[in-house]
Chain A
């Protein structure tokens, strides 16, 4: 066991080992171990309360684990850092409910997300350069929002808000993207487009997607991890995982 750890850890992008956390006696995560390789697109499924969102909270520094190790790029200990630091290390997060800055325009949302110095004085004296402009244009076309750049984010449709948030994550230039239920509440056409978008994004970085929609996961066609009661139940291709009797009993069967 130790040997496998020593081999996987330095090569991994994200490495969780024996992570446990409990809230008021409820064990949200129970000795969870989980590895994401560089450049990997990974889907996570599991019933409600399996600990999917808690896992993201731990990776992004919102929650501290009671025990266990969390490493980024092999040797950066994430349990010692807070949200802002972790975001600047290159981990982006999309929330379950689309969260964009509603009283800003689509353009300003992306400008704020852009991977530039984020201190008080650098932002106070920031000037939009031609490079930054080009980068925002590029992201706008990736997330198909070029025509709505000057609209307030509040006026976007639900699906467009989801895309804008994905666009903001791209602007952050993360190496690892954590995406929580990106197609919840989307139409079938939007879901299909989102699958294409995520596959496109995963070409240049690692992406972890939490999703309930099995059709969407099948469309992604990637390695699947099934969580239940705070630990990993099964891991493998979608067909392998969905035929596992434990997964059927805990999740799919219900």
Chain B
């Protein structure tokens, strides 16, 4: 009974979150663009970009939840997929600069001119077209996840070993992207973007549109992941998480089941990265930092793994906290983050959303039981009254 209620409430709460996101995608840009700066409801442009950034983090956490919460794959390398999506977008934005760079080279980005390169490397070809860049945003992280997962899941690398090799993967990419001769701007990464799809990237209108795009994409991905986890395939995912060998002896190819979720999740992380980069204006190898991937795990755990809404709430709460905390007591932020993770693990193992929904389910079950009791009492009482 509790389960069926939870499933139903999941539906309703997901519809609610989707509605909120779509509402925000209209309301925030409207309040930013249509109200005067001194109006009490005015949303300043810097806040629009800040919240837009949170939404891309939320999408990254949602992607992690699909593999960690539902399939038990604790990936400590999801920031790598995010960063790859971000780099693909960054390359498009670099090519949009054209001759407006410091060196005025119409074809080569500044850092290539600086390195004395004469022509565009082959892997930069095509990134002047948005559709091609957009395709790479999903394909590159997806392909990496597919190849990585193919080998890892086929060799049945599980648990902490898998987590460690995902860390190694993101660390290896970090080192590679730091090198100047990789052709991705080395240490400085890609920055000084001018415009996106022909619109000035600094303009309030573009910022508002990017926020709206982030909110709508997050809503779409939430619907997609809900459909995935509510399908029979989603039940198989949970079965793999809870009893992998049982699933295998039933005849499921566990490695294929995991691979699909991992690849879809990496693609979603790539999209999140692509929305992140134009809003913060830079992508550099720091995004591959192993610590970044671990932070995503914390957001997801704080919000509640395996709930889909939890990671969204967690990412926004923790990053909102981070923005406030780092302004007030910058040196204590890491302690606060670590303390938060310990607190959540010890006292809220289901996370904020998981704890709240379990409480609501219990209260509803109680009330229903009480109603049943009352009804029975009333039935018993009636004949007595008639006498």
Within 8 A of A (CB), among B245-273: 245-254, 256-257, 260
- With A120-B260, A150-B3 already in contact, the answer to whether A111 and B232 are too (CB < 8 A) is yes
Which of B228, B233, B246 gathers the greatest number of chain A CB atoms within 10 Å? B246
By beta carbon, the residue of chain A nearest B253 is: A84
Q: Check if B242 sits within 8 Å of A168, measured CB to CB.
A: no
Cβ distance B270 to chain A, nearest Cβ, rounded Å = 20
Within 8 A of B (CB), among A92-135: 92-93, 95, 99-105, 108, 111-113, 118-120, 123-126
Q: Check if A112 sits within 8 Å of B236, measured CB to CB.
A: yes
Q: Check if B4 sits within 8 Å of A113, measured CB to CB.
A: no
A137 located at the interface, meaning its Cβ lies under 8 Å from any Cβ of chain B in the complex: no
Q: Check if B256 sits within 8 Å of A99, measured CB to CB.
A: no
Q: Check if A112 sits within 8 Å of B228, measured CB to CB.
A: no
By beta carbon, the residue of chain A nearest B257 is: A120
Instruction: Give A100 to B235 CA distance when docked, in angstroms.
Output: 13
Q: Check if A101 sits within 8 Å of B257, measured CB to CB.
A: no
Q: Check if A152 sits within 8 Å of B246, measured CB to CB.
A: no
Instruction: Give A87 to B235 CA distance when docked, in angstroms.
Output: 19
Chain B interface residues toward A at CB < 8 A: 1, 3-4, 228, 231-233, 235-236, 238-239, 242-243, 245-254, 256-257, 260
- Note all chain A residues with C-beta closer than 8 A to B256: 119-120
- Note all chain A residues with C-beta closer than 8 A to B233: 120, 123-124, 126
Q: Check if A101 sits within 8 Å of B232, measured CB to CB.
A: no
- Please tell me which one of the listed residues A102, A120, A124, A172 contacts residue B250 in the complex, with CB atoms under 8 A apart: A172
Cβ distance A80 to chain B, nearest Cβ, rounded Å = 16
A83 located at the interface, meaning its Cβ lies under 8 Å from any Cβ of chain B in the complex: yes
- Note all chain B residues with C-beta closer than 8 A to A12: none
Cβ distance B1 to chain A, nearest Cβ, rounded Å = 7
- Please tell me which one of the listed residues A92, A95, A125 contacts residue B231 in the complex, with CB atoms under 8 A apart: A125
- Note all chain A residues with C-beta closer than 8 A to B3: 105, 150-152
Cβ distance B57 to chain A, nearest Cβ, rounded Å = 27
Q: Check if A93 sits within 8 Å of B232, measured CB to CB.
A: no
> What 10 pairs between A and B have smallest CB-CB spacing?
A87-B251, A126-B232, A123-B233, A124-B233, A88-B251, A123-B232, A83-B248, A99-B246, A120-B260, A101-B239
- Note all chain A residues with C-beta closer than 8 A to B247: 112
Cβ distance A175 to chain B, nearest Cβ, rounded Å = 13
Q: Check if B235 sits within 8 Å of A84, measured CB to CB.
A: no
Cβ distance B90 to chain A, nearest Cβ, rounded Å = 32
Instruction: Give A174 to B270 CA distance when docked, in angstroms.
Output: 43
Within 8 A of B (CB), among A42-96: 60, 62, 83-84, 87-88, 92-93, 95
- Please tell me which one of the listed residues A62, A108, A120, A151 contacts residue B235 in the complex, with CB atoms under 8 A apart: A108
By beta carbon, the residue of chain B nearest A88 is: B251
- Note all chain A residues with C-beta closer than 8 A to B251: 84, 87-88, 118, 172
- Please tell me which one of the listed residues B231, B238, B250, B252 contacts residue A104 in the complex, with CB atoms under 8 A apart: B238
- Note all chain A residues with C-beta closer than 8 A to B248: 83-84, 87
Cβ distance B265 to chain A, nearest Cβ, rounded Å = 14
- Please tell me which one of the listed residues A99, A118, A123, A172 contacts residue B243 in the complex, with CB atoms under 8 A apart: A99
- Note all chain B residues with C-beta closer than 8 A to A62: 245
- Please tell me which one of the listed residues B239, B245, B253, B260 contacts residue A112 in the complex, with CB atoms under 8 A apart: B239
Q: Check if B250 sits within 8 Å of A103, measured CB to CB.
A: no
- Note all chain B residues with C-beta closer than 8 A to A118: 236, 250-253
Q: Check if B232 sits within 8 Å of A103, measured CB to CB.
A: no
Instruction: Give A127 to B30 CA distance when docked, in angstroms.
Output: 42
Instruction: Give A123 to B228 CA distance when docked, in angstroms.
Output: 10
- Please tell me which one of the listed residues A84, A99, A111, A150 contacts residue B254 in the complex, with CB atoms under 8 A apart: A84
Cβ distance A143 to chain B, nearest Cβ, rounded Å = 16
- Note all chain A residues with C-beta closer than 8 A to B260: 120
- Note all chain A residues with C-beta closer than 8 A to B4: 150
Other than the known A62-B245, A99-B246, A125-B231, what 7 A-B pairs have Cβ atoms closer than 8 Å? A93-B249, A111-B232, A112-B236, A120-B260, A123-B236, A150-B1, A151-B3
Of the A-B pairs whose beta carbons lie under 8 Å apart in the complex, a sample of 27, sorted by A's number, is A60-B249, A62-B245, A83-B249, A84-B248, A84-B251, A84-B252, A88-B251, A92-B249, A99-B245, A99-B246, A101-B242, A103-B238, A104-B242, A108-B235, A111-B235, A112-B232, A112-B235, A112-B236, A119-B253, A120-B233, A120-B260, A123-B232, A125-B231, A126-B231, A126-B233, A150-B1, A172-B250
- Note all chain A residues with C-beta closer than 8 A to B231: 123-126
Instruction: Give A103 to B246 CA distance when docked, in angstroms.
Output: 14
Cβ distance A181 to chain B, nearest Cβ, rounded Å = 16
By beta carbon, the residue of chain A nearest B237 is: A123
- Note all chain B residues with C-beta closer than 8 A to A83: 245, 248-249
Instruction: Give A92 to B245 CA distance when docked, in angstroms.
Output: 12
Q: Check if A103 sits within 8 Å of B253, measured CB to CB.
A: no
- Please tell me which one of the listed residues B228, B246, B254 contacts residue A101 in the complex, with CB atoms under 8 A apart: B246
Instruction: Give A120 to B239 CA distance when docked, in angstroms.
Output: 14
Q: Check if B238 sits within 8 Å of A124, measured CB to CB.
A: no
Q: Check if B250 sits within 8 Å of A113, measured CB to CB.
A: yes
Which of B236, B238, B249, B260 gathers the greatest number of chain A CB atoms within 10 Å? B249
By beta carbon, the residue of chain A nearest B227 is: A124
Cβ distance B150 to chain A, nearest Cβ, rounded Å = 13
- Note all chain A residues with C-beta closer than 8 A to B238: 101, 103-104
Cβ distance B310 to chain A, nearest Cβ, rounded Å = 16
- With A104-B238, A112-B235, A124-B228 already in contact, the answer to whether A168 and B250 are too (CB < 8 A) is yes
By beta carbon, the residue of chain A nearest B239 is: A101
Cβ distance A221 to chain B, nearest Cβ, rounded Å = 28
Instruction: Give A19 to B245 CA distance when docked, in angstroms.
Output: 23
Q: Check if A104 sits within 8 Å of B235, measured CB to CB.
A: yes
By beta carbon, the residue of chain A nearest B254 is: A84
Q: Check if B246 sits within 8 Å of A95, measured CB to CB.
A: yes
Cβ distance B338 to chain A, nearest Cβ, rounded Å = 29
Instruction: Give A247 to B239 CA distance when docked, in angstroms.
Output: 41
Which of B235, B236, B245 gathers the greatest number of chain A CB atoms within 10 Å? B235
By beta carbon, the residue of chain A nearest B306 is: A103
